[in-house]
Structure 1
Amino acid sequence: MWISSITVFALIAILIVGCTGNKSKDSSAKEGGTLIVGTFSDIVSVNPIFINDTASGDIEQLVFAKLYDLDRESNLAVESWSIAAELPKVSADNLTYSIKLKKTAKWSDGNPITADDVKFTFDTIRNEDTGAPGISQYDKIESITVKDDYSLDIKLKQIYAPFQFALYSSIIPAHVLKDIPVTSLQESKFGVDPAGTVTSGPWSFSEWKQGQYITLNRNTNYWGKEKPHIDTIIYKIYADQNTEVQALIKGDIQMSEAIPLTQIAAIKGKNNLEVILEPGPQYEYIQFNFKDENFPDNYSPFKGQKTRQAIASAVNRQGMVDNVLKGSGGLMNSPFLPGSWADPGKEAVNYAYDAEKAKALLAEDGWVPGKDGILVKDGHRFSFELQYNAGNSRREQVSAIIQENLKDVGIEVTPKGIDFATWIDQNITPGKFPAILLAWSLNNPDPDGESIFSSKYFPPTGQNGGWYVNESVDELWVKGQQVVDQKERTKIYHQIGKELSIDLPYVFLYQYGLPQAYDSTKLKWNEVDRPESSMGYGYLFHAIKWWLE
């Protein structure tokens, strides 16, 4: 599933200050203590099947065990904390996946995790009435057969090449949720009320004070062979990134999950603080909404392809990379990260900053200057609200650049910062916005993006929140999923990337990494368990093995 970040790319890894202070042997790991992590985004829910944002996903992965996990190279893996006992066995026709579970895995209430839980989870996600954003990974399932308490077979309707990574999924408890109608699951206490949330990971969802903090305590019923060293993890929520950084410098927190690039120098000057800046699986974009009702005048100005191409030409993307990212990112021209096998490279259109070209394209698409200088078409002024999450200093800067760039070509933009959790819940997930500045975190190693670009997956059953329609691209996603040969699949994804770079449901801006900072005198890990920023949720990679001095 693709998660709003709200993603694996080919930048040269930059390690600032490094991790040299954390090469202690595991035998020296200390038990206990409280790790306080700073964040500027509150969660929406930790119910795995409804997560559509990274803030919620960070917490969810600490409190729920996954069926399978990923290793550092993003291969499907069985870890001591995975529910599965071995890698899935796949039939010769690539349609049936046979799965065996560990007999030791159990829920935080002491009940065993069984094949019924796995079946219940996947059946719930693939039910259209549930409204799960990740449905596209599971609606290719034809049937799930429970063979016994700890083994099951999953049969697909058709070959679905990305399916192995759909198994990189948290499981929910059937015995807790089976009697709740699927249409009521999202409004249930599960995932939002710690008392009503049975989990399975190393830590339990213990307390959530909205807008202030989230507390995770050690799961006393944890079943994995490797137990967490840290007793408690507290996520402290700050109003913005700069306040969060100051808390780190003062020692109020031991780790910051995302710091502004402008603050690296200040942190680097402190002897006890280290910063990790590596390639991350994130890319930022401007998303257009094509649904008229999401605009005050019931008119979406983004329906003309030339209009979208004009906006891409009018926005100084390279300037953002140079001045906002300080050169630590790279341009995006399609939804596939440069250097990945799906990347179309030079086949994709690279929109250079060219205001005059933008003006010409807008004129060709029927836009003419109004009395106040703002473009008008069919009686509608070209004015729209650009939403982003409040407190994100990078997006504050980028939205201001977009506002200035588009003003130069006659388009009025009003940037608006909104509380992250509220924004995800009320605007992003239901697709109720004019335009947004956001990012995808590509937590699934497979580049399949059907869920966010196909007209089959409008909200609430999918992630195409801009209501984008392109039938030829819809067909290409399906074609690419049904091809096992990697060379043939690569050709299809190159075609998808090229087509999306022309049609532009988004203006693809840039890829970037999220710098993490931590107190190296207090937070420790072995080098093999260091954060892995090239992966989705990678800054918490192997957190079960970390300890505090």
Structure 2
Amino acid sequence: MWIKRSLVIVPVALLVFLAQSVFWVPDQDSVSDNDSRLNRLMLYMGANPEDMNPWTSTKTSDSTISQYLYEGLVKTNHMYELEPGLAETVLVKHDITCYLPEDMTQADFEARLRKLLGARLKSFAGAADAKSPVRLNLTTGKTLAAGENAPEGQEVLEIPQLAKVRFMLAPEPVKGQITQAIEPEFEALLETELGRKPWPCFDAEELLKRVSTETRDKLTDKALTETLKEALSKLDTTPASHSPVIEFHIRKGIPWVDGPFFEKRERVWQAWCNGDPCGWVYADSEKEALAKLKAKSLVAKPEEARYEVANYAEKDTFGDKGYWWGKGPDCTARDAKLTFEFLKNPDFKSPRMSSYTSINEVRVFKDDPYKLEVVYGELYSPALYDLAGQLLPYHRWNLMAWKEEAVRRGKGPADVGLNHNVYNPMKYLVSREREYRAWPSMNGFMVIEPLNGDALPLWQNGSRCRLRRNEFYWDRKPEYQFLDYYVFDPNMGRETAEVVFNTGGLDVYSPREFQVERYEAKTKEYSVIKRMPNQYEYLSFNCSKPQLSDKRVRLALSMAIDVEQILKYVVYNQGVRINGPAYPVLPWYDQNHMIEHTWRSDGTDAQGRKVERKGKTEKIKYLPFDVAEAKAILKECGFEDVNGKLIGKDGKPLRLEFINSTGGGVRKNNALLAKQNWEKLGVEVDYKEYEWNVFIQQYVMALKFDVCVLGWSGGIDHDSRQLWHSTCWPTAGGLNLAAYANPEADRLMDAILKVYDRDKQVEMSHRIFRTIAADFPYVFLYSPLGTSVMDSRIVWRKKVGEKDGKPVYENRPVNHDFIRNARANMVYFFGELKRVETAPQWSEQDYKR
């Protein structure tokens, strides 16, 4: 009997327990101490945040929070276009050093440049004097020393060593705009202006014209040309060097916000040692604070150091309930300089280091602390996208502040047995272990509210992370005071979130694909906003494998996948099919791309009747699901159908090692449908799943697979080398997971880095897109639609004008045309949303005005 009872009681108890967790709904008391539900937005996330340093964090849950805390010099707008952020003006300048054209004086050249370049030419000066010409014995090919003569009958040719000049091209600054004066085709432009080659002495064929007829007849033009090329190869014959300089003018009066602090304001002292910020000291008086600071022994001779301390002024604080935030130093050029130099430094251990190694120098200016120049050693047009990242505060990250924390945590010079002059705090207190990861300084429109008293982290793991409006924010502040993110169990997070959302405990919900139509039907209760994110899904072939090295094989395998079936039954039509390597939401995706295909077989129409097409070449938007055509292509590649199995010329079956990560979801369904389709084609498929880290590190990055299932999301610039360049295979540290190699694609990807004109970038990106797509390195599947469902009481507060110098906002629906047509993620608009007490009734015009 007890067995029967247990079989009843245990499941019921389990259901009660699950119901308690799933149907837990945040109420006023459990979620907030603030005055009103209308004074906050409530959202959810599927994991705890861990690291608030945007340059060392690797988790989505980190960036979910940190995106509200920081801003960068440059930002992307609602259409993913770059525009100034913390910087008021951004100038892309062009520093050129070149040889003086032959037979021109410096004054003549400057005059021609001013005519050619106009107001963009801001400076011009000599850079190096001309050297004595190289005297080349054309018979022996040897260079003669000064005063040395060639034997009689052997001609000597003098190769000029020209003077160098240096000049700067710069645009006029325009507030709120990025202006540029890059002239990447300067050499060709100059040649057109002069009507001749500016530097013929660097060209062997041009030099050949200076050789006497007698010598040319005697030694032959071919031999002389080789001699001249050999001589020139030993000289610096690069006509010009190009150094882009990006100049930022940071807005004044944008403070870093420090805190929260739990001591009384009078006891919190900002500290400096030898002029560098170094944390805080808690003391009852200035004298006590200075004594405590000196006792930290932050320098080799503490008694000789210069110490300063200061409280935050009362007007420079906000907060309540015993904790508060203080207005820290202004964001200036030194913050940006420290950020970009740390990102290049391997000791900082940023996973994004590779994007910053091309920076040559970061300049700051004593007479203007808000001016910054980032200098590159060569033309590099994606630079601004790299520089759009968030800044780190100098007063928290300079080496003195770093050392102070290391000393306080028992990892200082004395603790590790080193002198101050050789001690590097980065090596003994690594960046990811610093307190900043859980207690940052911020310059975004929100700060982190403490939920654990004065203990770290500030958020409650497994429960919630609360953000509070930054009262010192320089731009538009949210009209709500709090933004709550609830952390739900990742195993049941989406299900829990939906229950809480439907009972009013959340304002925004991201539905699963099969749920979207249900919410779209409830127009009175919810607003539904769809957008195409910068993301796409794919199956990657390993092109380095012999059986997949022929693009025709990859084409055939691609045609054997029923992508329309995946779209319909896996993602419930919540995706847009793609035919090449880019995000459809960005301009780099070629919307007009057509696949040129020559049919190897006849087809059938919808009624099963034969359609003659064999030998015809057509342009098609997407590869059709066509097993007969796939088999015909594979037969052309040497594979025969033997009892339903595809056998190659070597007598071996066509076999694929197909790998995926563990866990269910869309990618598993994509993989299983692909496996099923390939097996019907006659391919042997060995499908295996591995835990995510094993899958990525031991198999994908080691290229130990034939096919893998993955997706890309993220970057929005036009530099696709990491994913497709032949030097970026994963075995070389890149992300070219297909082991793809095409010299023409490499050439185009390298060339676009020197293109600054937006229209030309788009045109070249489309050429890159078409080149790669034509090789079928992936089965390109689809870009999933991102859907946000919002409570109908959430409105968009649109700025409609100003009154008495203050902005005027009006309510608009969150699915207003402006928001629906934007490219940026919906989070872009969260700072402009507000919850109202009663759901408004919108007119058709409200969605447009």
Do the aligned partners of 1:50 and 1:186 also contact (CA within 8 Å) in 2? no
- The residue that corresponds to 1:451 in the other structure is 722
Tell me the alpha carbon deviations over residues 52-79 of structure 1, each in whole angstroms, 9 at most, x when there is no partner: 675544333122222222222333234x
Which of the numbers 424, 439, 450 marks the counterpart of 2:711? 439
105-114 or 45-54, which deviates more: 45-54
Which of the numbers 195, 208, 223 marks the counterpart of 2:473? 223
**Corresponding position: 1:118 with 2:336:** yes
238-247 or 365-374, which deviates more: 365-374
| TM-fit CA distance, 1:220 | 5.4
Secondary structure of the structure 1 residue equivalent to 2:467: strand
Q: How many residues align?
A: 503
| TM-fit CA distance, 1:150 | 1.6
Do the aligned partners of 1:144 and 1:155 also contact (CA within 8 Å) in 2? yes
In 2: Cα distance, 1:253 partner to 1:325 partner: 24
- The residue that corresponds to 1:35 in the other structure is 41
Which of the numbers 797, 819, 827 marks the counterpart of 1:526? 797
**Corresponding position: 1:516 with 2:788:** yes
In 2: Cα distance, 1:112 partner to 1:370 partner: 74
Q: Percent identity?
A: 20
- The residue that corresponds to 1:153 in the other structure is 373
Which of the numbers 161, 182, 188 marks the counterpart of 2:432? 188
Do the aligned partners of 2:661 and 2:690 also contact (CA within 8 Å) in 1? yes
Which of the numbers 77, 86, 105 marks the counterpart of 2:83? 77
Q: TM-score, length-normalised on structure 1?
A: 0.75
Tell me the alpha carbon deviations over residues 176-229 of structure 1, each in whole angstroms, 9 at most, x when there is no partner: 44547878998723599414x44432334565666x455142265753243332
Paired residue type of 1:203: M
Paired residue type of 2:337: K
In 1: Cα distance, 2:354 partner to 2:595 partner: 25
1:83-482 to structure 2, matched below 5 A, reads 83-88=86-91, 90=93, 91=170, 92-93=181-182, 95-109=244-258, 110-126=328-344, 134=352, 137-147=355-365, 148-179=368-399, 188-189=432-433, 193-195=437-439, 197-204=440-447, 207=458, 212=462, 215-218=465-468, 222-228=472-478, 229-237=480-488, 238-239=490-491, 241-256=494-509, 258-268=510-520, 271-289=524-542, 302-337=548-583, 341-344=587-590, 345-348=592-595, 350-362=622-634, 382-387=655-660, 390=663, 392=665, 394-409=666-681, 410-412=683-685, 414=687, 416=689, 434=705, 435-444=707-716, 446-457=717-728, 463-482=735-754
- The residue that corresponds to 1:498 in the other structure is 770
Tell me the alpha carbon deviations over residues 258-316 of structure 1, each in whole angstroms, 9 at most, x when there is no partner: 3223102333455433221134333222234568xxxxxxx796544344323322211
Paired residue type of 2:685: E
Secondary structure of the structure 1 residue equivalent to 2:247: strand
In 2: Cα distance, 1:471 partner to 1:144 partner: 34
Do the aligned partners of 1:320 and 1:398 also contact (CA within 8 Å) in 2? yes
In 2: Cα distance, 1:339 partner to 1:189 partner: 37
C-alpha distance 70-267 of structure 1, shift in aligned 2 (>3 A) = same
Paired residue type of 1:188: R
153-162 or 45-54, which deviates more: 45-54
In 1: Cα distance, 2:563 partner to 2:772 partner: 17
In 1: Cα distance, 2:752 partner to 2:391 partner: 27
33-42 or 329-338, which deviates more: 33-42
| TM-fit CA distance, 1:134 | 4.7
Do the aligned partners of 1:391 and 1:417 also contact (CA within 8 Å) in 2? no
- The residue that corresponds to 1:12 in the other structure is none
Do the aligned partners of 1:431 and 1:466 also contact (CA within 8 Å) in 2? no
Secondary structure of the structure 2 residue equivalent to 1:333: coil
C-alpha distance 514-534 of structure 1, shift in aligned 2 (>3 A) = farther
Tell me the alpha carbon deviations over residues 2-60 of structure 1, each in whole angstroms, 9 at most, x when there is no partner: xxxxxxxxxxxxxxxxxxxxxxxxxxxx8974533234466675533356675544333
Do the aligned partners of 2:51 and 2:432 also contact (CA within 8 Å) in 1? no
Tell me the alpha carbon deviations over residues 71-119 of structure 1, each in whole angstroms, 9 at most, x when there is no partner: 22333234xxx42233445433362211011233333423443222212
In 2: Cα distance, 1:319 partner to 1:403 partner: 13
Do the aligned partners of 2:50 and 2:438 also contact (CA within 8 Å) in 1? no
In 1: Cα distance, 2:344 partner to 2:80 partner: 25
| TM-fit CA distance, 1:242 | 4.6
Which of the numbers 536, 545, 548 marks the counterpart of 2:832? 545
Secondary structure of the structure 1 residue equivalent to 2:255: coil
- The residue that corresponds to 1:4 in the other structure is none
Do the aligned partners of 1:429 and 1:463 also contact (CA within 8 Å) in 2? no
In 2: Cα distance, 1:355 partner to 1:183 partner: 58
| TM-fit CA distance, 1:485 | 4.0
Rg comparison, structure with higher value: 2
Do the aligned partners of 1:533 and 1:539 also contact (CA within 8 Å) in 2? no
Do the aligned partners of 1:332 and 1:509 also contact (CA within 8 Å) in 2? yes
| TM-fit CA distance, 1:541 | 1.1
Where relative contact order (Cα < 8 A, 6+ residues apart) is larger, the structure is 1
| TM-fit CA distance, 1:403 | 2.6
C-alpha distance 220-356 of structure 1, shift in aligned 2 (>3 A) = same
Gaps of 5+ in 1: 1-29, 292-298
Do the aligned partners of 1:279 and 1:534 also contact (CA within 8 Å) in 2? no
In 2: Cα distance, 1:451 partner to 1:33 partner: 44
| TM-fit CA distance, 1:538 | 1.4
C-alpha distance 201-488 of structure 1, shift in aligned 2 (>3 A) = closer
Gaps of 5+ in 2: 1-35, 94-169, 171-180, 184-243, 259-327, 400-423, 449-456, 597-621, 800-811, 837-849
C-alpha distance 504-105 of structure 1, shift in aligned 2 (>3 A) = farther
| TM-fit CA distance, 1:152 | 0.7
| TM-fit CA distance, 1:479 | 0.4
Do the aligned partners of 2:80 and 2:823 also contact (CA within 8 Å) in 1? no
Secondary structure of the structure 2 residue equivalent to 1:517: strand
523-532 or 302-311, which deviates more: 523-532
Paired residue type of 1:99: F
C-alpha distance 183-289 of structure 1, shift in aligned 2 (>3 A) = farther
In 2: Cα distance, 1:481 partner to 1:474 partner: 11
C-alpha distance 41-334 of structure 1, shift in aligned 2 (>3 A) = farther
In 2: Cα distance, 1:244 partner to 1:433 partner: 38
